[in-house]
């Protein structure tokens, strides 16, 4: 039996994607836990930015919102949303972590509405973009941490809140968004996906312990591509788990889910 749970696997896998010296915009929850774990293991010079204005704080513990006072504790800057978005627009932010109710094969995200052809009368109204559209439009690499199931991974999102590769190919660049930006990795409880360089369609690149490519495909609402070589995700090490449980999220706000 593994000595870790699903959320610990996802947070650890996401943390491994962040290199030392990079800049990353995060929200609260799993993205923040991943950034904190990366900083305490392999990326001590990682610059963490929060949408509400905190830049590179020394996080004493897990903040519960992007405006939590802990997001500016010993920070190099306590600014505001306009400054953070401007920094993204100027091309200074390497990564952003996002989520949503739906994601499609091109990495477009929906956090606005579900069902119904009338935008004013959807089946379900969701919170909307917040800063997600701006962040995904201008940060270099967008990453998503989400559970793997057919309700989330759909062939076509009901509404594009956050642009991914749009219709695939060069459609994102043709839309006017900066060249070189776009979806990068999708981290789920079953594995990880990236996007095939030419078509920009989602493809499986790694499989988590206890799962197979078939499991991932069976829990996806569209056909996934396969990388030339699909690797097995390394489980969290004892040291990664210790830091995650004792220093990053000792109250189990995230990893206790």
Assess whether 234 carries a catalytic annotation: no
Q: Give how far Cα 106 sits from Cα of 31, 41, 73, 248, Å.
A: 21, 32, 37, 32
Q: Give how far Cα 177 sits from Cα of 11, 194, 195, Å.
A: 29, 19, 17
Distance CA 171, CA 15 (A): 30
* Active-site residue, selected from the candidate residues 51, 86, 196, 234: 51
Distance CA 48, CA 224 (A): 32
DSSP 61-90: S--SSTT-GGGGTT-SEE--HHHHHHHHHT
Whether the Cβ atoms of residue 142 and residue 164 lie closer than 8 Å to each other: yes
Distance CA 160, CA 24 (A): 23
Place of tokens 């989602």: 202
Helix or strand holding residue 202 (H, E): strand 202-207
Which pairs from 124-127 meet CB under 8 Å and 24+ separation? 126/101
Active-site positions?
A: 51
């Amino acid at each position: 039996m593994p000595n870790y749970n699903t959320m610990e696997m996802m947070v650890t896998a996401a943390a491994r994607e962040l290199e030392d010296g990079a800049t990353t915009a995060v929200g609260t929850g799993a993205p923040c836990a991943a950034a904190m774990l990366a900083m305490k293991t392999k990326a001590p010079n990682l610059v963490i930015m929060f949408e509400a204005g905190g830049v590179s704080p020394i996080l004493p513990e897990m903040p519960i919102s992007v405006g939590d006072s802990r997001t500016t504790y010993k920070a190099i800057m306590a600014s505001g949303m306009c400054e953070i978005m401007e920094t993204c627009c100027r091309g200074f932010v390497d990564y952003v972590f996002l989520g949503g109710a739906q994601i499609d094969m091109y990495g477009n995200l929906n956090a606005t509405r579900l069902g119904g052809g009338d935008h004013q009368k959807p089946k379900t109204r969701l919170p909307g973009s917040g800063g997600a559209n701006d962040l995904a439009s201008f940060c270099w690499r967008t990453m998503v941490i989400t559970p793997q199931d057919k309700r989330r991974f759909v062939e076509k999102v009901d509404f594009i809140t956050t642009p991914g590769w749009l219709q695939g190919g060069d459609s994102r660049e043709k839309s006017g968004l900066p060249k070189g930006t776009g979806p990068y990795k999708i981290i789920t409880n079953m594995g990880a996906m990236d996007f095939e360089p030419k078509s920009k369609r989602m493809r499986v690149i790694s499989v988590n312990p206890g799962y197979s490519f078939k499991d991932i495909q069976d829990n996806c609402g569209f056909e996934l591509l396969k990388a030339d070589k699909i690797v097995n995700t390394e489980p969290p090490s004892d040291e990664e788990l210790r830091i995650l449980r004792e220093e990053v999220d000792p109250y189990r706000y995230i990893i206790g889910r």
